[in-house]
Structure 1
C-alpha cells in the first residue's frame, strides 16, 4: 500500500471507530498528509448527515436529536470528548503553570472536566434541537437541512483541530506534538480549501458561515490554551473538535433564524 492510501486509511482509524487498524507507519504517513483529516471529516460528516436525515424523517425531534448524538460518538469515538474533559481540568486548576499542565495530563477526571464535558453535551443537544425547530420554517425538507448542517459541523470540527495544530506550539512530546509539528502552513491551506469547497457545495453561503465559525472557534481555544498552558497538546486539539462542532451548529441555526425572519434574503439568494 502506497503512502497516500495508508495515510487515508489511518485517518479513519485515527478519527473514528471504523476498524481499519492503526500502525506507527500509518501514523507517520498521516502526519505527512494532515490535510487528509479534513477529507475524513467530509466522509464522517456524510455518514452522520445520512443518519440524521433518517432519524429526523422517521422519529420525533427530541428522540432524533439524542440518537444523532449517540451516533456521533459511536462513529467518532470518545477520545476528543476525553480531551475536552482533560482540558477542563487543566483550565480550571488553580496555581502555577506546572499545576495546570499536570491537571491537563492527569488521567483522572476532576470536577472541571466533568463540568466542561456535561455542558458540552447539553450544548450539543440544545444546538441540534434548535436547528431542528428552525429548519422546519426554513425549508420544506427540514431533514435535509439538518443533514447538511451536521456534515458542515463535522468538517468544521476537523478543520478546527488542524487550525489549532497549525498555529500552536507543543508543550510536550507525544502524538499531539507529531501532528502539531507536521501541520505546516501549506498543508493547512490545502485542508482549509478542501473544507471550504465541501461546505459551499453542501450549503452555499450558510455553509461558509458555519465553516468560518469553526476556524474562529479554533483560534479562541488556541488563545485560551496559550494563556493557561503556554502551548497546546492533543487534549487542546480534541477540545477544538468538540467545541467547534457545537459552535457550527449554533451559528448555522442563528443564520437560518435570520433568514426566516427576513433579514437574510440576499444571503439565501446567494446560497
Structure 2
C-alpha cells in the first residue's frame, strides 16, 4: 500500500497531460504505476466520454466519435499513437532487432506507421460512431471501456517474464516489474466494474456483459502484439507499451461494434 500514492503519481505524470508531481522515479514506483494505470483510464476516459457525448448530442454521432478520440489523444499528448506508429515501422521493416529498434527511435514516421495510424483511427471513429448512434450512454460507456482496457494492457506488457528490449527509457524502467496475479487482478476488476456500470445504467440486462467481453478481446489483441514484439525485438520498449494500449482500445471498440 505504501507504493499506491507514488504509483498513482507516476502513472498520471507519465501517461497524461495532467500536472502531477512525481516524487519517485524508480522501478518499484514504475511497476506500481503500471498496475494502477487503469485509474488514469477512468479519469481520461470520463473526460473523453463526456466530450464525445456532448458533441454527439449537438452535432451527431460521427462528430461525437471524432471528438472522443481527439480528446483522448490530446490528454495523452498522442503518446500511445506515437508508440503505435513507431512499432509499426519497426516491425514492418523486416530488419533484425537492433535495426528495428533504431528505426523505432527515429523521430520521423514511415509508411507502415502512417498506414497503421490511419486504419486504427478510422476503425476507432467508425466503431464509436455506431455506439453513439445507439445512444449517448452507449457511446460514453464504449469510450470509457476502451480507455480503461488500454491501461490494463500496460500491466501485461510489464510482466516479470517480459524483458526490456534495450537499456534506458520508460520501457527499461518498468519492464519485468509486474506479477501475473497483479495484472490479472486489475484486469478482472476493471472488467467487472465496467460490466456493473453498464448493468446499472442500462435496461438491456444481460447485454451489459458485452463490455467485460470486449475487455477480454482488447487484452487478447494486445497480448498477441506483445508476443510478436518480444519475438522480433527481444523485449519491450515504451513504444511497445503505447502500441499495446492503442491495440487494446481498438480491439474493445471493434468488439463492441460487432457484438
Task: State TM-score, norm by structure 2.
Answer: 0.86
How far does residue 27 in structure 1 lie from its aligned partner after superposition? 7.2
Contact 2:90–2:103 (CA<8 Å) still a contact in 1?
yes
CA gap of 1:63–1:8, structure 2 versus 1, over 3 A, is: same
* 1:195 is aligned to 2:190: yes
Determine which of 156, 159, 167 is the counterpart of 2:152: 159
Question: 1:250-269 counterparts in 2 under 5 A?
Answer: 250-255=254-259
Distance 2:31 2:5 in 1: 13
Q: After superposition, give the CA deviation of every residue in 1:162-194 in whole Å (9 maximum; x if it has no partner).
A: 222225322112321221221122322332232
Q: Which SS does the other structure have where 1:181 is aligned?
A: coil
Distance 1:97 1:26 in 2: 26
Contact 1:89–1:109 (CA<8 Å) still a contact in 2?
yes
Aligned length: 247
Distance 2:176 2:255 in 1: 31
Distance 2:230 2:54 in 1: 41
Task: Spell out structure 1 runs of 4+ moving beyond 4 A.
Answer: none
CA gap of 1:117–1:14, structure 2 versus 1, over 3 A, is: same
* 1:217 is aligned to 2:221: yes
- Larger CA deviation: 203-212 vs 124-133: 124-133
How far does residue 242 in structure 1 lie from its aligned partner after superposition? 1.0
Question: 1:16-165 counterparts in 2 under 5 A?
Answer: 16-25=16-25, 28-133=28-133, 135=134, 142-165=135-158
CA gap of 1:48–1:114, structure 2 versus 1, over 3 A, is: same
* 1:239 is aligned to 2:232: no
Structure 2 unaligned runs (5+)?
199-207
* 1:179 is aligned to 2:183: no
Structure 1 unaligned runs (5+)?
136-141, 256-271
Q: After superposition, give the CA deviation of every residue in 1:171-230 in whole Å (9 maximum; x if it has no partner).
A: 112321221221122322332232122222222311111110111011111122133223
Distance 2:150 2:244 in 1: 7
Q: Which SS does the other structure have where 1:182 is aligned?
A: coil
Aligned to 2:162: 168
How far does residue 248 in structure 1 lie from its aligned partner after superposition? 0.4
Distance 1:144 1:92 in 2: 38
Q: Which SS does the other structure have where 2:235 is aligned?
A: coil
Aligned to 1:263: none
How far does residue 24 in structure 1 lie from its aligned partner after superposition? 4.4
Contact 2:52–2:66 (CA<8 Å) still a contact in 1?
no
Distance 1:101 1:10 in 2: 25
Contact 1:91–1:228 (CA<8 Å) still a contact in 2?
yes
Distance 2:19 2:27 in 1: 15
